[in-house]
Structure 1
Amino acid sequence: MPTELEELVEFLHSPQAMIRAIALQNLVGFSSGSQNTIFLQDNLRPIKDLQALVHTPDPSIAKDALTILTNMSEYIKIRKMLAENKSFVNHVIQSIIKPNEPNVDLYCVLLANIAKDDAVTSIFQIKAAQTSTDLKSPLAVDQLVDCFVKGAEKKLNKHATFDYLAFVFADISRLNEGRKYFSTAQTYDNVVPLSKLLVFTEYENPVRRAGVASTIKNTLFELSEHINILDRESVNILPYLLLPLAGPEDIPMEELDELPEELQLLPPDKARESDNEILCVHVESLVLLGSTLYGRDFMRNTGVYPIIRELHLAVEDDNVREICERFVQLIMADEPGKSVSEQRLQITAQEEEETAPLEVIL
């Protein structure tokens, strides 16, 4: 005999809209915790019903369906099912971009979960309507980046902050297509997408800081782009990695002069990144930059060492200290061989000796 919950789930498939809506409203609370297995019955038909309900013009019904799908996407098979449904992924993205859509932030969370499946590569082929003068590219992925940058603090949509797009970017940047995208200037504005995200390494919102830190780290696995990413006239990534690591400590003048200008006049109450996991990710990014001779020499000549030294002294966390020590061993080692200028054109993953692999943030 079916349980009451199982019967309630069956009503999601009812031909009557009112019955579907009532069932949905009563089922939301069961989408997290051990009872959420009720949505796995009948060869995942409830998940298919929920995908259809997301398309409803009633925002409250769509919100409940989105909430359940978001919670259920903890299951790998459901993430895969959603990610492989290109029509559904397209709907999610178009809804995020849609002006005044009330459920944008929930769509962003769902997309962040979907992006953990490799099938999300379809995102790079999706085209989007240009619904706002702030979104000029015909490609959906470009519009998502611009929504994230221009839409912070509800500046594009009064219902949305777009914060959780940071985790979408973190997940798609673990893929080859994503790393190439974030490290390559786009034709519609001739700007490298990664450079648009860097300002958020010291942003107030921790979701943005964490997602952007992981996106940076994952993109830096594209070793062939390190010269451009380090170039002060291009992406100029180094100050944005060092600023979250810097605290209020006094650095001797002779060392201070070697630092990027952005770090030479910091206030005496400068606050260091408070999240130790984010600190680790930023130092791991520096280690990745040091996986090429050019990157190591660049950082030696830009005074990175004192920032890491002070970080190691100030933060009492074993993981932070371990990665700081690893960076110091890398950057302070003697370098036999060629000069920086001789190495400039030889930075490829195949030709350069790399450091030990780092786990890509998933």
Structure 2
Amino acid sequence: MPTELEELVEFLGSPNPQIRQIAAANLTVFSSSQPTLFKRQNLQPIKDLKILVLDHPTIAKDALTMLINLSADKQILRFLADDDGFIEILISKISNKKEPNADDIAMLLANLAKADSFSRIISFTRKKADDVSTSTNALNQLLDCFVKGAEGNLNKTANYDYLAYVFADLSKTEEGRKFFTTKQDYDGVIPVTKLLVFTEHMSDIRRRGVAWTIKNVCFDVQSHPMLINEEDDEGANLLPYILLPIMGPEEYPDDESSEMLPDLQLLPPDKRRESDHQIILAHLETILLLTTTREARDKMRKVQVYPIIRECHLGVESEEVREGCDRLVQVLMRGEEGEVNEAEQEAIQRAGVHTLLGQQKRSITEAVEEDDEEDEQIVDILA
């Protein structure tokens, strides 16, 4: 005999909308605590929830909440992420400026992006999203929603912040990094440059996802010249966007500040450093990745990146951040042959930045990949 809860789950597929609404509202709380309840009869309840996403907005919201929570289960995650038709429904709805549950869909997509199969969305083609994007590429459409929809500017009920986590996961793949560093035909813009302005956004979700995306993109060493290029429209001019968040209200000597990038000079006395230490760490790791090439190392020395790292080390009470600063100092302040001259060593000691023994033997990617656990979290809604 089925239990009362099992009978309630069966009502998710009822032809009566009132019964569906009651079932969805009452089952939401169990989507986190009892996921097996929704795996009965060959995942039939999950199939019903997929359909309910197209139901009345109130029912759809409950269905989306349950799917967000249930996608923490690997079997359910694969079942959802592998369904092209379901992915099409989600993108169609989120790119509708009048969709009341757009942010819930963004959260669900952020979870689905954890599945390996989801990376196919990078080349997923669909019809244009009227008034949102003129591209037929699904990822471009999501990116345009994210950029245009910040702070409710596209859809008054949505901010699309959680799409930043979708981009972060997709940028872990080689195909994803290629997408974010390749100028798109429909608007002539390199996708990663659309994200840079959000490194100092008010939303910590948006800042965090963007920071992870930028860091992942920088694993593509071939793109480094383009990423640090500030001379023309072909470059991303990345450095000021990842350095500004780690800067505080410190004042620098004239011989240092005068050589810094223009956007980093003469900051106001109330300038605040990024409050999330994991985001600071992500930016430090991005800079570390960029030091892979001699061109980038020389540029960072020229524009006085070291003093910025020095002050970050002094101003942030986080052992992880300080270790991240240490790794960067070792690269920036040593000679190209792996030796640090006496003047450089004195500068390091004056700043209170101490070299970690044996750190120079570790690869840059090892140092960065150690700190990637944070971006593996899955979104969960507790009703």
Other-structure match for 1:316 = 317
Distance 1:7 1:102, change over 3 A: same
The Cα shift of 1:134 comes to 4.4
CA distance in 2, matches of 1:355, 1:25: 49
Q: Which amino acid aligns with 1:188?
A: Y
The Cα shift of 1:251 comes to 0.8
Other-structure match for 2:306 = 305
Q: Which runs of 5+ in 2 are unaligned?
A: 339-361, 377-383
Matched, 1:4 2:4: yes
Other-structure match for 2:364 = 355
The Cα shift of 1:23 comes to 1.5
The Cα shift of 1:256 comes to 0.8
Give CA-to-partner distance per residue, 1:256-286, whole Å, 9 cap, x none.
1121000012011110001111110110000
Give CA-to-partner distance per residue, 1:325-349, whole Å, 9 cap, x none.
0011111222149xxxxxxxxxxxx
Q: Is the 8 A contact 1:291 1:354 kept in 2?
A: no
Matched, 1:247 2:248: yes
Other-structure match for 2:47 = 48
CA distance in 2, matches of 1:275, 1:66: 29
Other-structure match for 1:264 = 265
CA distance in 1, matches of 2:275, 2:123: 37
| Matched ranges for 1:271-286 at <5 A | 271-286=272-287
Q: Which amino acid aligns with 2:216?
A: N
The Cα shift of 1:143 comes to 1.5
CA distance in 2, matches of 1:354, 1:189: 37
SS in 1 for 2:28: helix
The Cα shift of 1:181 comes to 0.7
Q: Is the deviation greater in 13-22 or in 324-333?
A: 13-22
Q: Is the 8 A contact 1:86 1:122 kept in 2?
A: no
The Cα shift of 1:18 comes to 3.7
| Matched ranges for 1:83-94 at <5 A | 83-94=81-92
Other-structure match for 1:29 = 29
SS in 2 for 1:236: coil
Matched, 1:201 2:208: no
CA distance in 2, matches of 1:123, 1:296: 35
Which residue of 71, 96, 99 corresponds with 2:97?
Answer: 99
Other-structure match for 1:231 = 229
| Matched ranges for 1:277-296 at <5 A | 277-296=278-297
Which residue of 39, 49, 68 corresponds with 1:70?
Answer: 68
The Cα shift of 1:129 comes to 3.3
Which residue of 153, 156, 162 corresponds with 2:154?
Answer: 156
CA distance in 1, matches of 2:316, 2:337: 33
The Cα shift of 1:354 comes to 5.8
Other-structure match for 1:345 = none
The Cα shift of 1:136 comes to 1.9
Q: Which amino acid aligns with 2:21?
A: A
Q: Is the 8 A contact 2:38 2:46 kept in 1?
A: yes
Other-structure match for 2:144 = 146
The Cα shift of 1:90 comes to 1.3
The Cα shift of 1:41 comes to 2.3
Q: Is the 8 A contact 1:90 1:126 kept in 2?
A: no
Give CA-to-partner distance per residue, 1:100-149, whole Å, 9 cap, x none.
01110000000000001111122123234334344222212112111111
Q: Is the deviation greater in 260-269 or in 124-133?
A: 124-133
CA distance in 1, matches of 2:63, 2:276: 33
Q: Is the 8 A contact 1:10 1:46 kept in 2?
A: yes
Q: Is the 8 A contact 2:289 2:365 kept in 1?
A: no
Other-structure match for 1:13 = 13
The Cα shift of 1:37 comes to 2.7
The Cα shift of 1:252 comes to 0.8
Q: Is the 8 A contact 2:180 2:217 kept in 1?
A: yes
Q: Is the 8 A contact 2:112 2:118 kept in 1?
A: yes
CA RMSD after TM alignment: 1.7
Q: Is the deviation greater in 23-32 or in 12-21?
A: 12-21
CA distance in 2, matches of 1:69, 1:247: 41
Q: Is the 8 A contact 1:70 1:109 kept in 2?
A: yes
SS in 2 for 1:31: helix
Q: Is the deviation greater in 35-44 or in 117-126?
A: 35-44
Other-structure match for 2:38 = 39
CA distance in 1, matches of 2:156, 2:271: 32
Structure number with greater CO (CA < 8 Å, separation at least 6) is 2
Q: Which amino acid aligns with 1:105?
A: D
Matched, 1:115 2:113: yes
Q: Is the 8 A contact 1:246 1:272 kept in 2?
A: yes
Instruction: With the length of structure 1 as denominator, give the TM-score of the two structures.
Output: 0.91
Q: Is the 8 A contact 1:118 1:175 kept in 2?
A: no
Q: Is the deviation greater in 12-21 or in 186-195?
A: 12-21
Q: Which amino acid aligns with 2:28?
A: V
Q: Is the 8 A contact 2:149 2:158 kept in 1?
A: yes
Q: Is the deviation greater in 103-112 or in 118-127?
A: 118-127
Q: Is the 8 A contact 2:200 2:245 kept in 1?
A: yes
Q: Which amino acid aligns with 2:302?
A: N
Distance 1:238 1:261, change over 3 A: same
Other-structure match for 2:215 = 217
Give CA-to-partner distance per residue, 1:225-261, whole Å, 9 cap, x none.
0000100021000000000011111111101112100
The Cα shift of 1:4 comes to 1.1
The Cα shift of 1:183 comes to 1.1
Distance 1:129 1:99, change over 3 A: farther
SS in 1 for 2:283: helix
Give CA-to-partner distance per residue, 1:57-89, whole Å, 9 cap, x none.
x11111111110011111122111111111111
Q: Is the 8 A contact 1:257 1:264 kept in 2?
A: yes
Give CA-to-partner distance per residue, 1:280-313, whole Å, 9 cap, x none.
0110000111122222222112210000000001
The Cα shift of 1:153 comes to 1.2
Q: Is the 8 A contact 2:95 2:132 kept in 1?
A: no
